[in-house]
Amino acid sequence: MKNFVTIQPFKTFQRVAYYTFWVEGHERSETDAFFTRFENELALANDLNLLVAWIQEIGQNRGAKNRYFRFENDATALPPPARIMAELGSSYCQFRLYCIRLSDEVVILANGGQKTSQTVQNSPQLMAHFRFANKMAQQLTEMIQSGELVLDGKQIVGLETIELLD
C-alpha cells in the first residue's frame, strides 16, 4: 500500500519556518501527533518544555544552524546534541524529534518519541519515526537536486503531495 504525504506549515517564527508532514488518512500531522501524545505525561513535562523552548529559540532568534541538530543518517533530530549533565538530571531530554533541516530558514519536523536505549534500533517506539524521517529526507533531497522542490527564504516552492516509496 502506498501512502501519500503532504508538507504543511507548522509554526513560523522570525528566523525559521517549521513545516510538518501529514500522512493521508491520519487524524493529525506527524508533529502534532507527537506533541499531543506526550502533552499530558507529567513525568516528561520538563523534557517536553525544553524541546519546545529550543524549537522556539532557534526559530525566533538563532536560525536553524547546522550545528544545532543531531545527525540521524539522512535526517536530523532535536534537541541539539549534548552530554548528559548533572544539573539537568540524568534523564535530560529523553525525546528525539526527527526533522529535516533544509536550510537555516526551513525545517520540516516529523514525529519522534522517547529514546529509551543507546541506539535507536533498541528503542522500538522510535524506530518507525526514524525510518519515516529518513525516507522523507532521501526523497526531499532528490526533489531539491532535480529542481522539483525549491526553497525561497522561508517558503517551500512547489509543495506537492509526496508518494512514499515502499
Tell me which residues touch another protein (CB under 8 A).
Answer: 10-11, 31-32, 35-36, 39, 45-46, 48-50, 52-58, 61-62, 67-68, 79-83, 85, 87-88, 93
Q: Is the CB of 88 or the CB of 150 nearer to another protein? A: 88
Pairing mode, strands 17-23 and 106-114: parallel
Helix pair angle (30-38, 45-57), 10° resolution: 140
Q: Least distance to another protein from the beta carbon of 69, Å?
A: 8
C-alpha cell at 70: 543531531
Strand partners, 99: 76, 109
Q: What is the DSSP letter of 14?
A: S
Other CB atoms within 10 A of residue 15 CB: 17
**CB-side neighbour CA atoms (13 Å) of 160:** 12
Q: Least distance to another protein from the beta carbon of 88, Å?
A: 6
Three-point CA angle 145, 148, 154, nearest 5°:
90
Q: Least distance to another protein from the beta carbon of 86, Å?
A: 8
Q: Is the CB of 2 or the CB of 67 nearer to another protein? A: 67
Pairing mode, strands 95-101 and 155-157: unpaired
Amino acid at 150: V
Q: Least distance to another protein from the beta carbon of 70, Å?
A: 8
Q: Least distance to another protein from the beta carbon of 132, Å?
A: 19
